[in-house]
Amino acid sequence: MNITCKDLLTSIDHFEVIGDIDNVSFKQISTDSRTIQEGELFFPLTGPNFDGHNFIAAALLKSRNIALCDRTKIENVTEKLEQLLTENNIDVKDFKYVLIVVENVELALEQVTAYIRSLTKAKLITITGSTGKTTTREMLYTIFSTKYEVLKAEGNINTLWGNASVLMNWTGQEFIIFETGLDRKGEIGWQNRGLIPDIGCIINVGTVHAEPLGGVENIFIGKKEMADYLYSKGKPVVLNIDDIRLASIKNNYGDLVISVGFDSEADFRCEQVELDEKGIRFKLMNKETYYDVQIPIYGIDYVYNALISIVIANYFGFSIEQCIQALGQYHGYKYRFEINEVNEYLTLINDSYNANPDSMKMSINTFAKIWGEKYHTVAFLGHMAELGEVEKEEHRKLGELIKEKNFDEVFYTGRYYEFVNAGEYLDDFEEIKQKFKEICDNAQKNKIKTAILVKGSHSVGLHRLFE
């Protein structure tokens, strides 16, 4: 997508400009002066410990294009730019650039994103939840891509600026699927006002990011902003009503809520869940009709991602049978309980993308259920980050779960081992790597059927065992 400065400023008429905007356009959005390319629009993000305005000069030098700038920072930015141009032997008078002057950069990002969104003709879906956002995104993509062209983010993009950057890649796709993350109060509402979704879903409310947000209740308030936005626009939201906090939203928002869960009041209800080496199986009930669902992924909680995906696809015209057939081909996502059967004696389960109490419990329970009786079981586990005031209690519970499952070998690394108090503690990654290799080699050399689970927060770095 290529957007001219004139068109942007015509749409958002309260923006002011420094520089000549004739024949000036941008093809992408950047927030990083180190990687910005020529022809990209620079957004100076700010936070408690950084201010992107300090890098506007460097960004303009590389992109030779446009940047947004808070009105209060103009003088400082232009001084830095002149200094940088002089250092690079560039005549200030000959250097062409545009500064879009705004009162608030965050509000401007919301407004620019909304303008970009207005240029697309796609239906847009937003996803939030403490866990399962990426799995839900990928399940939705699996279903929708059987009939339509779909634009989605890759990896773990879930910020407004990241999603705005993906929007710039729109080339006519009929559907767009985005995750919306929550790191601070107001972020979910901010993202939805910018992205303007046609439908959204809230998967669950857990302790992920409890530390920066100040507790689970504040996480719920933050996630609820999606439902509040959609309700204000008369658009539907899909909720997992097995989560008691999300169930309270259903009671307030009535017919605009489509509910899923095991709860007998759910619009799309799950029953008779089974888990084995082939994946999960369950019965889906909707409008007094039962459907058999089988998906080759591992973990009971994935039922919620499947239900939500089926609901949203059904809302846009897919039959439930079409959704079930498509999900039968979904095999999971990288680093999320990713199973690698190296040979008949060694199976590696890479669940190292991230960890929180819910995902840790599901991972350990699933590992024990499938491999616990027939294999030599080994777990390499790391701590769960950003849990705030519940960090000690949740790691104590983790230790109890580890002991309950009675795996043959457990190795733990990272923080809070004094609360986990289970398995052998390994401090150095090289030590972890060596132990991992020893167990893998021993399994194959001595023909011992061995299954190894690797799980921890991304910051622990256990994913490096597979690199």
Token readout for 173 is 């796709």
Question: Quick one: pLDDT at residue 393?
Answer: 93
The backbone region for 196, taken as left when phi is positive above 0, alpha when psi lies in -120 to 50, beta otherwise, is left
Q: What is the mean pLDDT of the chain?
A: 92
Beta-bridge partners for 128: 202
* Nearest residue to 261 via CA among 316, 218, 303: 303
Domains of the chain: residue spans and CATH? 3-102 (3.40.1390.10), 120-327 (3.40.1190.10), 338-466 (3.90.190.20)
pLDDT tens-digit series, residues 437-457: 999 999 999 999 999 999 999
Between 95 and 206, name the one with better pLDDT. 95
pLDDT at 212: 60
pLDDT tens column, 343-394: 999 999 999 988 889 899 999 999 999 999 899 999 999 999 888 888 999 9
Q: How far apart are CA 397 and CA 53, in angstroms?
A: 44
In this predicted structure, the answer to whether residue 96 has a pLDDT above a threshold of 80 is: yes
pLDDT surpasses 80 at 178: yes
Q: What percent of the chain has pLDDT over 90?
A: 76
Mean pLDDT of 37-63: 91
Residue 149 pLDDT > 70: yes
Selection from 291, 328, 324 nearest residue 310 by Cα: 324
Model pLDDT, residue 209: 58
Query: Region 417-441: what's the mean pLDDT?
Result: 95
The residue type at 58: A
pLDDT digits (tens, 9 = 90+) for 110-135: 999 999 999 999 999 999 998 899 99
pLDDT at 31: 93
Q: What is the pLDDT of residue 424?
A: 95
| Mean local confidence (pLDDT), 242-251 | 90
Query: What distance in Å separates the CA atoms of residue 443 and residue 95, rounded to the nearest whole number?
Result: 65
> How confident is the model over 285-337, as pLDDT tens digits?
999 899 999 999 998 899 999 999 999 999 999 999 999 999 999 988 888 89
pLDDT band at 92 (very low <50, low <70, confident <90, very high): confident
Tell me the pTM: 0.88
Residue 213: pLDDT band (50, 70, 90) is low
Rounded distance between C-alpha atoms, residue 174 and residue 205, angstroms: 30
